[in-house]
Amino acid sequence: MSDEEDTQDIILNDEQKIDIAKWFLLNSPPGEIQYVAKDLKSVLNDENVYRLAALEAFPIYNKSHFVCLQLPNRSGDVLISSYSEISEDEYLDPRTAQVGKVDHVRQICTGMRPARDEELPSHYVEEYRCALDAEMSKYVGEAYPKGVFSVYCTSGKDAEESVSDFELVVVITATRHSPQNFCNGSWCSIWNIEFKDELQTVEVRGKIQVTAHYFEEGNVQLDAKHECRDSTIYQSPDDSAISLMNIISHHEAEYLTSLQASYSNLPDSTFKELRRKLPVTRTLFPWHNTMQFSLTRDLTKELGIGK
């Protein structure tokens, strides 16, 4: 086979290029998709292929990472998620009852409008949503200095007091983007809360995901996930909100404690497995003083261990 035939075998058509470009965009670490997009645009050298890949990938990425955008009049923030999605480029901020129009590729909010009545829950459900929003505001403000959250009604929007089965979802997201220090990361928790009138119970299902990317002189990525369940009794809006906030804060604190314990043990477990017992220098690695190395030091700093 000639060199010319070999070259022809590896030529990609536009569809294949789009699929590959989408893969890179969708697998970008938290806060790094714009950097990846810039490099892809340069490598592809084809504006049309890049545009098609970006138009497909950015909305999926923004929703999966719960990207937070500020409304044009600075009256609030809108989280890009499947829970807030009105249409492919419109997302609800339930706290201000406004809908933001989003440019996914530029990751900005370009316009807004008041939410319509059919896009909002009934007065009965809104009482529970507002009460929980108020309690979560206190918790998130203390636990996540740079965190944002939102409380949505995902089913039973028309529920009234006589027929009151409905579901709320709390989304909490906190990001730390520090590319100048070669480190980006995010915390995201989703709490599905089902109010069951007949059983007079509230079922809680939580999913927590922590992702991080450390890339100083290497490429280390963290992707930790945790799921949990709990329940409480069906009470008044204010009492339910307090109970649910306590459940959420308890499970998140418990998981954070377990993460901190895991990373405190990194020098004695994971890091040791990454190296030979005796390096080629014939000098033992100083496991008793791993804090002198930047990866251990930065992880400890980011997680607040030892403070």
Q: Which CATH number does the domain housing residue 198 bear?
A: 3.90.1150.210
**CA geometry: angle at 49 spanning 91 and 32, to 5°?**
55
If asked whether residues 95 and 155 sit together in one domain, one would say no
CB 145 within 8 A of CB 185: no
If asked whether residues 125 and 87 sit together in one domain, one would say no
Domain that holds residue 173: 121-263
Q: Residue 85's CB: how many other CB atoms inside 10 A? A: 15
If asked whether residues 207 and 163 sit together in one domain, one would say yes
Crossing angle of helices 294-303 and 237-264, rounded to 10°: 160
Q: Please state, in angstroms and as integers, the Cα–Cα distance from residue 215 to each residue in 32, 179, 183, 186, 304, following that order.
A: 12, 9, 6, 15, 20
pLDDT at 261: 82
Give the number of domains in the chain.
4
pLDDT at 302: 58
If asked whether residues 255 and 277 sit together in one domain, one would say no
Partners of 167 in beta bridges: 155, 194
Please report, in tens digits, the pLDDT of each residue of the chain (307 residues total).
455 555 456 788 889 999 999 999 999 988 899 999 999 999 998 999 999 999 999 999 999 999 999 988 777 889 999 999 999 999 999 999 999 999 999 999 999 999 999 999 999 999 999 999 999 999 999 999 889 999 999 998 888 776 678 999 999 999 988 888 888 989 999 999 999 988 899 999 999 999 989 888 778 888 899 999 999 999 999 999 999 999 999 999 999 998 888 777 766 666 666 555 555 665 666 656 655 555 556 656 655 555 5
If asked whether residues 259 and 125 sit together in one domain, one would say yes
If asked whether residues 23 and 147 sit together in one domain, one would say no
pTM: 0.82
Q: Residue 164's CB: how many other CB atoms inside 10 A? A: 17
pLDDT at 267: 63
Partners of 76 in beta bridges: none
pLDDT at 1: 46
If asked whether residues 97 and 130 sit together in one domain, one would say no
Nearest-angstrom CA–CA distance, 154 and 142? 26
If asked whether residues 245 and 278 sit together in one domain, one would say no
Q: Give the CATH number of the domain where residue 17 resides.
A: 3.30.1140.60
If asked whether residues 141 and 248 sit together in one domain, one would say yes
If asked whether residues 234 and 149 sit together in one domain, one would say yes
If asked whether residues 130 and 259 sit together in one domain, one would say yes
Please give the distance of CA 213 from its chain centroid, rounded to a whole number. Answer: 14
pLDDT at 218: 77
If asked whether residues 138 and 247 sit together in one domain, one would say yes
